[in-house]
Amino acid sequence: MKIKLLEKGDKSIRFEIKDTTPAFVNALRRSISNVKIMAVDYVEVKKNTSTMYNETIAHRLGLIPLTFEPGSYVETKNCKCEGVGCDKCSVKLALKVIGPANVYASNIASTDETVKPADKNILITKLIEDQEIDFEATVKLGNAKQHARWQAAIAGYQYFPKVKMNDGCDLCGVCIKKCQKKLLEEVKGGKKVELNEPYKCDLCNNCAKSCPKSVLAIEGDPTKIIMTVESVSGLSPKEIITQAAENLKEQLGELREKLKD
């Protein structure tokens, strides 16, 4: 198996996996749901005279991505406090704003400076004159299998595109014109076309459908897969992929041990 990095940013990563199978890549994708992140689990609304219901405010808070140091907290169910809540398994957030004002994630105060909104510009609500919002929220560790608020990333993959043609092509050029991304071009010295930037092809097959002689097809290679991971949490894409791979390795190790029995 070979890995080729295609794109890397603060919030997303795109890479190519060669000599693989769809089953393995899908297992890696599904393993991301086991990656643990911090998110608001419970909200105590002390006062809310805004136009938004308490439930709506709580829902918005639960979906705000939070930064944190991986490994610094444990799940409540595994904590020595036995679910009561302590500084080993939970963090408190607080917010109190009196209008007129726009209430942003930046207004939230935390008992742990490492656990805070990843984006301070997220709008929570708007307050007019004399309206007030005052709440305290409890942040806990969890994964996406428990609830969507603990979803670490959005992940997807596609097969690497390859051009298939037969000898009936007369280079009429219709397929080249129909490609909306302008990815097809003629191959010099031969009656065929190729993809000039295959990583941008989304396998729409508009070019193949437009071929008058039906001699062109864009097929996916299941042994060469392009995977994209976009973080929607406080973790970087690199950390998410690393943890997902470790989770998958751990699960396979457990299976191997069970088979030995």
State the Cα–Cα distance between residues 128 and 27, nearest whole angstrom: 49
| 225 beta partners | 17, 159
The CATH architecture to which 2-33+154-228 belongs is: 2-Layer Sandwich (3.30)
Note down pLDDT in tens along the chain; length 261 residues.
Answer: 999 999 999 999 999 999 999 999 999 999 999 999 999 999 999 999 999 999 999 999 999 999 999 989 999 999 999 888 899 999 999 999 999 999 999 999 999 999 999 999 999 999 999 999 999 999 999 999 999 999 999 999 999 999 998 888 888 889 899 999 999 998 877 678 899 999 999 999 999 999 888 889 999 999 999 999 999 999 999 999 999 999 999 988 988 888 887
203: left (phi over 0), alpha (psi -120 to 50) or beta: left
In this prediction the pTM is 0.86
Predicted confidence at residue 36, as pLDDT, reads: 96
State the Cα–Cα distance between residues 89 and 62, nearest whole angstrom: 17
Q: At residue 75, what is the residue type?
A: E
Q: At residue 100, what is the residue type?
A: P
Sorted by sequence, the CB contacts under 8 Å of residue 162 that are 6+ apart come out as 198, 218, 219, 220, 221
37-149: which CATH number, 3.20.20.10, 2.170.120.12, 3.30.1490.480, 3.20.20.70? Answer: 2.170.120.12
Predicted confidence at residue 188, as pLDDT, reads: 77
State the Cα–Cα distance between residues 102 and 160, nearest whole angstrom: 46
State the Cα–Cα distance between residues 236 and 153, nearest whole angstrom: 9
**Extents of the domains making up the chain:** 2-33+154-228, 37-149
Sorted by sequence, the CB contacts under 8 Å of residue 196 that are 6+ apart come out as 183, 184, 185
Predicted confidence at residue 257, as pLDDT, reads: 86
Q: Do residues 169 and 215 lie in contact, with contact meaning Cβ atoms separated by under 8 Å?
A: yes
Reduce the DSSP state of residue 213 to 3 states and report it. coil
Predicted confidence at residue 11, as pLDDT, reads: 94
